[in-house]
Chain A
Amino acid sequence: MQRKSLDLWVGLFVLLGAAALFFLAMKAGNMSALSFEKTYPVVTKFDNIGGLKPRAPVKSAGVVVGRVGDIRFDDKSYQAVVTLEIESSYKFPKDTSAKILTSGLLGEQYIGLEAGGDTNNLVAGDRIKMTQSAVVLESLISQFLYSKAAEGKESEK
């Protein structure tokens, strides 16, 4: 009888540990966001990806429709080649455009898709041709400074 109650306590301990891991994975981690839905790859090229990371979300109209697959550098065109894994249940027209956006002022970067008007849909392995690079804060500031300086010169004339 004593054996049985001891086994029960050990079993409870192991279950508690497993429950703690499950809680961490589901509630603290991104396990619930991990979808095991089938995806199809779409390739995009960007001049500058800024701080985009693999597994960043791909959103359309603010809804997550996929994840960033891998990111490589193409030494022929000197551009970044980003593979997007889009969930198979979502179809996008061929002339969809991709932008790298930032959530919040300094938040994480994600890819935003804007659907076009083409009647044919993107299929696995297609390339999105219209892309817009990430906004790099330094170049934005330098552009602003240059335009300010140019204004200053014009007013002197």
Chain B
Amino acid sequence: MMGPISALGRWVRESVTNAGFATRTFLALLATTPGLLRRPRLVTDQVHFIGNYSLVIIGVSGLFVGFVLGLQGYYTLNRYGSEEALGLLVALSLTRELGPVVTALLFAGRAGTSLTAEIGLMKAGEQLAAMEMMAVNPLQRVVAPRFWAGVIAMPLLAAIFSAVGVVGGYIVGVLMIGVDEGAFWSQMQAGVDVWKDIANGVIKSVVFGFAVTFTALFQGYEAQPTPEGVARATTRTVVIASLTVLWLDFLLTALMFD
């Protein structure tokens, strides 16, 4: 009888402790940022690792999501005799929703896991402890550059995803199915608002960049310093980051597009 209740109590206590600890780490991370401005090279290196290497998967996924949106959108719109609205449908779904969300999910899988594994292994190999011994703050030297690189790369990747997706929709809709090209673009331009749709999508992707990168780094930083611990931390990164992205997306959508 008392077992489940005390288990619940323990779970609540641990969650509160974890949340507090994550917040403190986050603030400590932000506090080290001014020092980072003196060594921007550290961030550039990580942008290369996180951003450039994710380009292929983001570009190819964007193209195929665009293809599928073109096919499925045409199938549905054709029933109402309004295939001309295909451009609008493709562009709105990509800029408002699919661009930021799918990019963030892929980003968690492609870049987030590598960040967690890298930092977890550094911790397991006691490299982080060694840095502290040399009076180097590992938060500033290792974690902060990766964090800001993720925050910079994520919105850029989401924009590339959406743009490639629109081109994909164009290829399927106009070049393959034969929707009128003028109507495709003009309906899109009439219906997509730069501030309400595109800028809000960018804001979403920035928020997701913060959430995914921080989750990945925190999981790596807090991993059990064993091979098994690093493996578990990597799995947790994908699960927690994906769920965070999805509920943040719901929250942001409800706030932005009331």
Q: Interface of A with B (CB < 8 Å)?
A: 6-7, 9-10, 12-14, 16-21, 23-25, 27-34, 55, 108
Q: Mark B69-84, 1 if CB is under 8 A from A, else 0.
A: 0000000000000000
Q: Which secondary structure dominates where chain B touches chain A?
A: helix
> Which residue of A is nearest B157, CB measured?
A17
Is there contact, CB below 8 Å, between B194 and A13? no
A-B contact pairs, 22 of them (CB 8 A): A6-B44, A6-B45, A10-B48, A13-B51, A16-B156, A17-B157, A17-B159, A18-B156, A18-B159, A20-B159, A21-B159, A21-B198, A21-B202, A24-B159, A24-B163, A27-B166, A27-B185, A28-B166, A28-B192, A28-B198, A29-B95, A55-B193
Is there contact, CB below 8 Å, between A9 and B52? yes
Is there contact, CB below 8 Å, between A29 and B189? yes
Contact of B156 among A7, A17, A28 (CB under 8 A): A17
Question: Given A28-B166, A29-B197, A34-B194, A17 and B189 touching (CB < 8 A)?
Answer: no
Residues on A with C-beta less than 8 A from B155 are 17
Q: Which secondary structure dominates where chain A touches chain B?
A: helix
A108 CB, nearest partner CB in chain B, Å: 7
Q: Mark B154-165, 1 if CB is under 8 A from A, else 0.
A: 011101101110
> Which residue of B is nearest A14, CB measured?
B156
Is there contact, CB below 8 Å, between B48 and A29? no
Interface residues of B in 147-191 (CB under 8 A from A): 152-153, 155-157, 159-160, 162-164, 166, 185, 188-190
